[in-house]
Chain A
Amino acid sequence: DIQMTQSPSSLSASVGDRVTITCRASEGISNYLAWYQQKPGKVPKLLIYAASTLQSGVPSRFSGSGSGTDFTLTISSLQPEDVATYYCQKYSSAPLPFGGGTKVEIK
């Protein structure tokens, strides 16, 4: 089965900083990659699917890129409300594993 690996596992950045999270698949998955945001104590929320398509209602400071095995989630200008853990997920076929998560904090 394909494994999903995220890095870093955590990061701390200042408000306004550009933040980049990486997700790597152990095999090629084309663009079948989604990103989720989970705020503390909350249910996960879909941010991006098809590697780069923003889900409705998601702020434009979030963007995704990549194809094949390497993907990136970027927050162009970190805001206090972006404090959360971010997960990638492949959905090219079942099973649908998540990455280990990246915890984003404000410095």
Chain B
Amino acid sequence: QVQLVESGGGVVRPGRSLRLSCAASGFTFSSFAIHWVRQAPGKGLEWVAVIWYDGSYKYYADSVKGRFTISRDNSKNTLYLQMNSLRAEDTAVYYCARGITMIVAVTPFDLWGRGTLVTVSS
């Protein structure tokens, strides 16, 4: 079954860290760029970060640059998002999403996980 499954969300205090994971199955994970997208409660979609299929390039939204780090382990078919110095405005459902085309990094997303909720609150 082709799917992405996020985990690692929870409640965390401002300034603390959290690491999200996204486990892929049913497709050749190492051939696709993968993205993180978030959605604050009742708000729109916000693109967060992308990592190339081989991990060679990474790009971030300005809102998370310097605080979040995207990485992947192709041997484990898993994507990660290390989130440091968390703020209340980082509260959101975090989705991982796959690009529609193998190898090409900047493409629309045809496969999404169900998301994991991160709540930053004291």
Contact = CB atoms under 8 A, between A and B. Distances in A.
A96 B35 contact: yes
Interface of A is mostly: loop
B59 A95 contact: yes
B45 A46 contact: no
A89 B99 CA distance: 13
A99 B47 CA distance: 10
B106 A46 contact: no
A45 to B, nearest CB: 8
B62 A101 contact: no
Interface stretch (B22-30, B79-87, B112-120): B112-120
Contact of B44 (A34, A46, A49, A101): A101
B100 A95 contact: no
A69 B24 CA distance: 35
Contacts of B47: 89, 95-98
15 contacts: A34-B109, A43-B113, A46-B108, A49-B108, A87-B45, A89-B47, A91-B107, A92-B106, A94-B50, A94-B59, A95-B47, A95-B60, A98-B37, A98-B47, A99-B44
Q: Sorted from nearest, which 4 A-B pairs have the closest CB atoms?
A: A34-B108, A94-B59, A101-B44, A98-B45
